Structure formats: C-alpha cells, structure tokens
Amino acid sequence: MSNPQENEFRSWAASARPRLRRTAFLLSGDWHLAEDLTQDTLVRIYAVWPRVSASGAPDSYAMRTLVNCQRATARRPWRREHVVDVLPDRMQPGSATDAGDERSVLLDALARIGGSQRTIVVLRYWEDLSVDDVASVLGLSAGTVKSQSARGLARLRELLRDELPQSVAAGRAPVPPLSPSETGETS
Amino acid sequence: MTDQILDEPDIRALIARAVADEPAYDMAPVDALDAAVAAGRRRRVRGQASRGLALVAVAATVAGGVALVRVPSAPTAPNLVAGSGSVVGRVDAPPSVVPSASGATRLPSPIPSLPNPTAVPAVSPNASGAVTPVVTPTPAPTGSGSVEPTPPPPADPLLLSHLEALVRSLAATAHGTIVTMNHDQFPAMLGTREYIQTDVNAHVTTASGAFDLDASANRLDAFDVTTWRSNCSPATGDLKPCTVVGTSTYDVMASSDMGANPGQAGRMTFQYVAAAPDGSTLDVNFENYTEQPGHLKNVGPSWKAAGLDYAALRAAARANTLLR
C-alpha cells in the first residue's frame, strides 16, 4: 500500500474508531471485547483498504465487517455456555435505580434478544441506519429487516417494561449529547 | 413497572445513555492504529502467500494430473452475500477454477496427464493410464475470527412452501399484488445457542398503498403464543404497546397502533403467532410503511383496511397446515 493510501487509512480509522467501538459494545455488551472487535475490524479493513477506499463507502463496509467479526467471536467455543459453581447475580425486576442499573438492564435485554434482532436494533436505533441500509449491511431484504426490527422492539419492550424503574421511562430523561457521528477520540 | 410505551425515541435514548459511560481505551489511539496497520500488513502478506500457494497447487495439479484442488478463502474479505441473507465466506479463486458453495473448487474439466519423459514416475501408472487423484492439503485457516465459509443449512422446503403459500393467500385476501418475495436466512439466538431462521416475506401493493408480510416458523423461538398473549393483554393496568385482537388456545393476533407517532397516521401493524402441528411456532408480521429519508414513513393500508383480520389469518394458517 502506498504512503498516501496508508495515510488515508489512518485518517479514516482515527475518525471511525470511536463509533465502531461504541457499536461493538452494544453488539457485545463488553467494552474490552468491543475494543478487540474494533481492532480486528480495522486490521481486516487495512488489508483491503485500496478496494474499500475505492468503493467510496468505507463506513458501510466497516459496519459489515464489524458485524461479521462479532458473529465469528460469538461462535467461538470459549464464548459458549459453560458450567459454573455459583449462578451469577442478576438484577431483580423493577430494582433498577440509577443510570448504571438502567444501562445494565438495557445491555441484559439486548443480550437476551440476541442474534440478528440485536444487530438490527443497534444498527437502526443507534447507528440510525435506514431499513434499506441495514438490509444492505446484513444482506437481508428490507421486509425481513422491518419484521425483525418489530420483533426486536417488542422483545425489548417486554424485557424493559418490567425491569426499568418508573422514573426512567416515564421521565424520559434528556439524551446526552452523544451520537455515533462524534469522531473525537476520548483518550 | 412503567406506565409508558417504550417507543422508538425511548429506545434510542436508552441506547445512547448506555454508551455514555464509555471508558478509556485499553490501547492509546496512536498505538492502536500502528498495531492495526502492522497487523493489516501481516494479513496482506499472508493473504498473498495463501493465494500464491493456491496458484502453486493449481500449477502442480496441471503438471501432475490432479483432479481436485482446494483454494483457501481469502482471510481479508469478509462479506455478506445479498439475496440469500446468509453469512458466507468469500472465495477468491483463480480464474481458471470454478468455486462451489462449500469453497472447494474443481477444475473446469479433467486435465490429461502430461507424461514427462525425463522424470521417473514415483508410482507406475496402471495399464489404463488413469491417474490417481491427489488432493492437495488445505492450508490452515489464517484469519482469526474469519467469517464462516459454510452457508447455513437449507430450510425445510416443505415448510418454506407452506409459508410462501400462506403469504400468497394473505396477499390475495387483501386484493394485493406481490411485487417482491424473498426467502431470507439469518442467524438468530436463543440464549447462547445460535440457529438459522428462515423468513418468507413479500412486498405487496394494493390500490390503497403498500405493505409487507413476513412469515417464519421455528422451534426455538421463546416468544410464543402465551408470551404474546400475556404481553398484549391489558391485565396489569399499564398501557400496552399492543392489544389482542383475537386468540384461541393455539394462536393469537396482536395489533399495534403506531398512528399516534408523528407522521405515521394510520400505521397499524399486527403479529400473528400460532402453534404449528410440528411443534414449531408460526410468526406472521404485517408492516404497512415504506421508509423515506429522515425516518419519515409512507403509510399504507392498515391491516383492517386490507381485510386481514383474525379470521382470515386463522383460516390461512389452517389451510396451510401451520395451525395446530
């Protein structure tokens, strides 16, 4: 790869990394794993950067690669079920009291809807992709994205309604000024 | 227990708050980019080496009369192939070979052995001159977390035909025309277990607008008749995002009225869930919008206007042996 291409990749990667990491976190529920997924995505994209860059849609390709990386990681044997002596603590329904609990509840709910529904919910409601864009990223038809999106939301409602505190949903606290379009590194 | 319907803006807000406590990076940005570049370079070299190995294997095949070679999938080009909806690996094959679905490649035609008069054959050819096929060893996968090259198993064709017939009959009931019909296969999860779900969906146009119908059936989905009935029954006094339109022991139709959302007047969808005779759960979803830029939705006829009521759904499911 030529120097200008490498510089172009570095520039793109520096801006895309925070967004990829946040999306990876919502897909995996773990910040450390999210960083691994992000790094793996960047490595894969570097290897084909001339082609990706020429396509004119590196962000879309990156999202597709990230989703594939996450799926591949989830399939690895050490990520599957394993026997433990003590069951992990789980929050009782309705016990969420602050933002941290709310976050736990949401991540737990996302983990429980799982699979493509989780990916579709994250891409539609965090990445703000349209139905057609999500369909393109996942290689599905728009109709399936709509139906899976509806089912995913229904499951989220079911899971969250009983576990979020009254104040969280009823109060509709203002959304912090954070969006995937932010490009600044935080460290 | 909340008394609010968690609508799309609420979900967006919740997700945004969930990532608001983003911790510091494990690796400094500059180091991370350097590491990515270095690893990417190694990956490119490995990819080129793999392709080079494949070409050597092909060359050796041609020289030695080998009938089958296997070309490693490119580790650097994960891809989702549109249309099938399945996650498959992309195979970079030399132009002289034809890739198959499994990633194995066959030479387009048998290659005659080329006797080398100066070489001593390791194995004497038999009387007929036939060459014993030699399979070249497949190089070990080079990519960590590479995309699964194996396509998902095909769905039960009988089930698919029943689902498709169901969708067609519902479209006919609505006096609609099916514009597109797709079979999508994609990974779904139940807990930590992954399974392949197949959906049949159709985009239908009518005189009063368009809608989408989607039908699937699987054994593993925990969101069954009982769950839907419980979710959409206003027994606890809180507002529900859906209401039960009709139900029996083995099926339920739940309607969601989204018409109160800005710009979505008339948007009314349904979910019909039924216990099928084979133990799986039939799931039919109706969506009457077409998305426009900026989250705007063009709303088509509601399910009521389309004539797709509980009786029609139940009759269609039973006619296609998808209702117990």
Complex ipTM value:
0.71
What's at A61, amino acid-wise?
Answer: Y
The segment(s) of chain B belonging to CATH 3.40.1000 are 157-319
For chain A, give every domain's residue range.
3-77, 99-171
Most confident range (mean pLDDT) of A171-180, B12-21, B197-206 is B197-206
Q: Which residues of B touch A136 (CB under 8 A)?
A: 82
pLDDT digit string, tens, across residues B215-228: 998 776 667 888 88
Residue B146: both structure tokens together: 């590479």
On chain B, the residues whose CB falls within 8 A of the CB of A147 are: 199, 201, 212, 214, 216, 285, 287
Tokens of B149: 């090259």
Helix B8-18 and helix A99-113, axial crossing angle in degrees, nearest 10: 110
| Weakest mean pLDDT among A53-67, B100-114, B169-183 | B100-114
Query: Considering only CB atoms, which chain B residues are within 8 Å of A112?
Result: 191
pLDDT at residue A26, as a whole number: 92
User: Chain B within 8 Å of A28 (Cβ-Cβ)?
Assistant: no
CA distance B61 to B237: 74
Looking at the predicted structure, is the pLDDT value of residue A171 above 50? no
Range picked from A35-49, B32-46, B143-157 for highest mean pLDDT = A35-49
Could you say which of 3.40.1000, 3.30.70, 3.30.1490, 3.30.360 is the CATH number of the domain covering B157-319? 3.40.1000
Q: Give the DSSP H/E element, type plus range, for residue B316.
A: helix B310-319
> Shortest CA distance to A46 belongs to which of A16, A25, A21?
A16
Compute chain B's Rg from CA coordinates: 28
Which residue in A26, A28, A58 sits closest to A45, CA to CA? Answer: A58
Percent share of chain A, pLDDT over 90: 35
Neighbours of B163 (CB within 10 A): 26
Q: How confident is the model at residue B14 (pLDDT cuts 50, 70, 90)?
A: confident
End-to-end CA distance of chain A: 28
- Tokens representing B148 are 């699964």
Q: Residue A49's closest CA among B172, B36, B111?
A: B36
Distance separating alpha carbons of residues A62 and A69, to the nearest angstrom: 10
Does the distance separating the beta carbons of A154 and B241 come in below 8 Å?
A: yes
pLDDT for res A77: 63
Q: What is the 3-state secondary structure (H, E, C) of B21-49?
A: CCCCCCCCHHHHHHHHHHHHHHHHHHHHH
| Rounded distance between C-alpha atoms, residue B77 and residue B80, angstroms | 10
- Residues B41-51, mean pLDDT to the nearest whole number: 72
Q: What is the mean pLDDT of chain B?
A: 70
CA-based radius of gyration for chain A: 18
Residue closest to A129 by CA, chosen among B182, B295, B83: B295
Eight-class DSSP state of B293: G
A81-114 burial code (b ≥16 CB/10 A, e <16): eeeeeeeeeeeeeeebeeeebbbbbbbebbbbbb
Q: Which residues pair with B272 in a beta bridge?
A: B253, B284
Pick the CATH number of A99-171 from 1.10.260.40, 1.10.10.10, 1.20.840.10, 2.40.160.10: 1.10.10.10
User: Does residue B15 sit at the A interface (CB-CB below 8 Å)?
Assistant: yes
The 10 Å Cβ neighbour count of residue B208 is: 16
pLDDT of residue B248: 93
| Cα A44 from Cα B77, distance rounded (Å) | 7
Give the residue-averaged pLDDT of B48-59. Answer: 63
Q: Which B residues, 118 through 137, put their C-beta within 8 Å of a C-beta on chain A? A: none
Tell me the mean pLDDT in the region B227-251: 77
Neighbours of B307 (CB within 10 A): 14
Question: B279, B258 in Cβ contact below 8 A?
Answer: no
* CATH architecture assignment, domain A3-77: Orthogonal Bundle (1.10)
Residue B305 main-chain phi, psi, to 5 deg = -65, -30
Residue A85 distance to chain B (closest CA, Å)? 19
| Contact at CB, B36 and A39, closer than 8 angstroms | yes
Query: In B, which residues are within 8 Å of A155 by CB distance?
Result: 223
CA angle A62, A66, A68 (to 5 degrees): 120
Cα–Cα distance for residue pair A26/A35, rounded to 1 Å: 12
What distance separates the 2 farthest-apart alpha carbons in chain B? 92
Write out the two tokens for A40: 């793996």
Q: What is the mean pLDDT of residues A10-17?
A: 92
DSSP string, B157-172: HHHHHHHHHHHHHHHH
* Closest in A73, A144, A185 to B145, CB measured: A73
How confident is the model at residue B177, as a pLDDT? 96
- The residue among B180 and B197 whose pLDDT is bigger is B180
